[in-house]
Amino acid sequence: MSPVLIPKSKTISAILAGIEKQLRRHLTAKDPFVHYFLNYITKTKGKRLRARLTVLAARVCGKVDSRVERLAAAMEIFHHATLIHDDIIDQADRRRGRPSLNYRFSNEVSVLVGDLMFTQVMDILIRDMPERVRKIAANTTGRVCIGEIQELRLRTARQLTVNEYLAIIANKTASLFAGCCEGGAVLTGAPDRRVTKLEQYGRALGMAYQIRDDLLDLTGRTSRLGKTVGTDLKTGRITLPVILGIKRCRGEKRKQLLRKLRTGKYPQKSISQALKECGALEATRALAEDYSEQARKALLSLPDSPARQELEGLAQFAWKRDN
């Protein structure tokens, strides 16, 4: 099966190349010791999905100017910083195909580097972003942090409900996608109805993306994901496939699944197979597809354009991707 690739256009790719330069410029330091750690991070490129969403949302509504590019860079740096902190919490050993910052160096270094990156985001926002965009960014930051705290509180709860799980990822992941789209649109001076539609698109896209991410932690391959699969199981985190599995399994099969989850000694493939047999994996995939469709529908009232088409392509990528 061919990998599902992120949709790209030459125009947007050229803009993202400029944002890449901004990222390198912001993620640097005069102190060679500090610069060494920042350079370690910038050497690995992710999908740049948050930057792409910011740019595309602006492009759908109008012109991509230097402020849009700076906001895109800020959102990407913020995302990087949250990943660093996530890796510390999860004790992850790989990120984007190489040793994670905490594994390669230490938790202490990672915390401080992540904090430094947050200050870079603040610097970009304070310098020349309008008040409305600063408020969007502040609200987004708060919601992401709340989502992480909610997850810490509930991550190992065997009775975690679907609604509780959805509330967590709405904050932890979807709010950043929504903030990127909303902020990019606002900077073009777009009317509120367009801003709202793009915010709705980003939120639904983020839900689809995170649900798929949790599914891939059970069914994906480390070589494709660039990070170690099975991390959720190893850390005891309860995600949607497991929630649905506990709910759907009956009798002895349910007892066996709970035993496997409780002991943590069973291989990922064994648990994944049990979840597949009870239909939990397929139900998870279906919900990701449903959110993807919600994202696509949010775009229907916007003028057709290459940028809108690329956003539609991202909605498909979110629930079909294998990396």
pLDDT at 44: 75
pLDDT at 92: 84
Closest CA to 112 of 188, 31, 47: 31
- 95: three-class secondary structure by DSSP: strand
- 250: three-class secondary structure by DSSP: coil
Burial 218-241 (b: 16+ CB within 10 A, else e): bbbeeeebebebbbbbeeebbbbb
Distance CA 69, CA 65 (A): 7
pLDDT at 260: 81
- The DSSP code sequence of 167-202 is HHHIIIIIHHHHHHHHHHHHTTT--HHHHHHHHHHH
pTM value is 0.93
Per-residue pLDDT of the chain (323 residues; tens, 9 = 90+): 456 778 878 788 899 999 999 998 888 889 998 988 988 888 777 889 999 999 999 999 999 999 999 999 999 999 999 999 888 988 888 887 788 999 999 999 999 999 999 999 999 999 889 999 999 999 999 999 999 999 888 776 678 899 999 999 999 999 999 999 999 999 999 999 999 999 999 999 999 999 999 999 999 887 787 777 888 888 778 899 999 999 999 889 888 888 888 776 667 788 899 999 999 999 999 999 999 999 999 999 999 999 999 999 999 999 999 88
179 within domain boundaries: yes
Distance CA 185, CA 199 (A): 9
96 within domain boundaries: yes
Summarised one tens digit per residue, pLDDT across range 276-318 is: 999 999 999 999 999 999 999 999 999 999 999 999 999 999 9
4 within domain boundaries: no
2 within domain boundaries: no
3 within domain boundaries: no
5 within domain boundaries: no
185 within domain boundaries: yes
Residue labelled with tokens 């997850």:
151
Strands (E), the chain: 94-95, 98-99
Q: What backbone torsions phi and psi does residue 94 show, to the nearest 5 degrees?
A: -135, 145
Name the burial class of residue 114, with classes exposed (0-12), middle (13-18) and buried (19+) by CB atoms within 10 angstroms of its CB.
buried
Structural domains in the chain (count)? 1
221 within domain boundaries: yes
pLDDT at 283: 98
pLDDT at 163: 95
Question: Which CATH number belongs to the domain containing residue 23 in this structure?
Answer: 1.10.600.10
The crossing angle, in degrees rounded to 10, of helices 251-263 and 240-248 is 150
Closest CA to 58 of 173, 202, 171, 175: 202
For 68, the domain range is: 10-320
Q: What backbone torsions phi and psi does residue 99 show, to the nearest 5 degrees?
A: -55, 135
Distance CA 15, CA 8 (A): 11
CB 262 within 8 A of CB 186: no
DSSP 142: H
